[in-house]
Amino acid sequence: MKMEKCSKFKLFNILLLLCAGNFLVYRYFIQSHTLVVASAGIHTNSPAYLLDVYRTALNDTRNILSIRGENKQDITNENRQDIPNENKLNSINDNRQNLPNDYRHNIPNENKLNNINDKQNINNDNKLDIPYENKQYGISNNNNEMDIRKFSISTRASTINFNSVSIPIFQRNLSSQLPVKGLSSDMRQKHVTSSESSISNLCPLIPPRLNGNLATITDVSSWQEIADENAELKPGGRYKPSDCVSRHRVAIIIPFRNREEHLMILLKNLIPMLSRQQLDYGIFVIEQVMPGKFNRAMLMNIGYTEAMKTYDYQCVVFHDVDLVPENDRNIYSCPQMPRHLSAAIDKFHYRLPYTGIYGGVSAVNKEQFQTINGFSNMFFGWGGEDDDMAYRISHAGYKITRYPMDIARYKMIKHVKDAGNEQNPLRFALLKNSAKRMFVDGLNSLVYQVQEVLELSTHLRIRVLINETDILKGKLHLLL
């Protein structure tokens, strides 16, 4: 009897060790593809946070200069201080030694910025924004043709950690008294204004009117109330600062169905925050009409495709309708790596459920999204699409970044389970072959019908019909 108990005990210990080993291997794999913005300092005025915002704004400024062919000579004397120079960056360059070699090129230095008045040098410099050196697989659009390239995959975990960077943040309240504009006749044309044609009045690198922690407003009476409170919005939910040229052109994509009350609460809180962040943004609500199972990932692909028809957005934020931001220092812009914005949610006690999570609210730039071919279109029903996206990001050699947990805070609006959004029984089979599907399932395999476009005062709502049979036709072999 004692021998039998001893054998069972040994077997139990062996199984326990195997489980622990599997867990450690999984955690290593996930963490090796995740980049934390700041580990040593969790406060909003920490050097790592300030430098991250600073660097992202600088990269987007380079894109503006490169695209429009502007140079430093075109900038007025009073605004030349907005462009970082040697004196401003001495403290940053002092800390470059603390970075791994992979990320030192991400930090602006004197030599790069001395050539800012040379358009060719700016374009070459922007090549450093690609997060890999030896390309193995990637997608780019040249002459409307899909070009498949190669890149290498790095599995080293890295953490940005700085000791001394001084960039001030000022706190002021935003007050705007601009009148309400009438509806435009053609929202879907490219939108270029005279204020964008010049880089003589760039917005500050760090928005000056941020408040930090925010109280969530859940009492909303009507859409008209939101429109009246945000009179500076243009029809279709478009906004750009009136007193400076924004450094970030951002499309906010919200997948949606049967959540009108949640959408009102979200935009009631979100619109003022985005305006304080001095973004050049548009809000796109992509509504899937009945019948059919809800396909959140495909709606985000559709939102990206339709948004790019209206304006030259360089950054896309994908936003669940039931998550409300609680800190306006959570800047809705795109750094050099994909960013998971909703790291700390009240439902999970403001803790990260697991390291590789990429759901809720996320930001990715245009080049990155095209490289990974967008989201998968094959996830009908609840679950799996965010993990599939995280795998795509990893396969492409990118790393997921996050703000500190006291910044990336969100409140989840309570809701019941949606009809037509039952658990997806195929989600685990799909996740097993994420890499296999990456280049044949995504932006290049979209099939949908736009049934209605509503240009509302707070957002552009696009109602689409998705046919599950059309999407899965000829792709079931990818599940094997």
Dihedral (C-alpha) 178, 180, 185, 190: value to the nearest 10 degrees?
30
Structure tokens at 220: 């909303």
Distance, CA of 43 to CA of 56 (rounded, Å): 18
For the chain, domains (ranges, CATH) are 32-480 (3.90.550.10)
- pLDDT (tens digit, 9 = 90+) per residue, 249-296? 999 999 999 999 999 999 999 999 999 999 999 999 999 998 888 999
Say if residues 346 and 388 touch (Cβ distance below 8 Å). Answer: no
How many CB atoms lie under 10 A from the CB of residue 400?
A: 23
How many CB atoms lie under 10 A from the CB of residue 163?
A: 12
Say if residues 242 and 178 touch (Cβ distance below 8 Å). Answer: yes
Distance, CA of 318 to CA of 329 (rounded, Å): 18
pTM: 0.66
- pLDDT (tens digit, 9 = 90+) per residue, 34-82? 454 433 334 555 666 777 776 777 677 666 655 554 433 333 333 333 4
Cα 331 → chain centroid: 10
At 112, is the secondary structure helix, strand, or coil?
helix
Is residue 98 predicted with pLDDT exceeding 80? no
- pLDDT (tens digit, 9 = 90+) per residue, 367-382? 999 999 999 998 898 7
Which residues are CB-contacts of 101 (< 8 A; sequence separation ≥ 6)? none
pLDDT value of position 431:
84
Say if residues 225 and 174 touch (Cβ distance below 8 Å). Answer: no
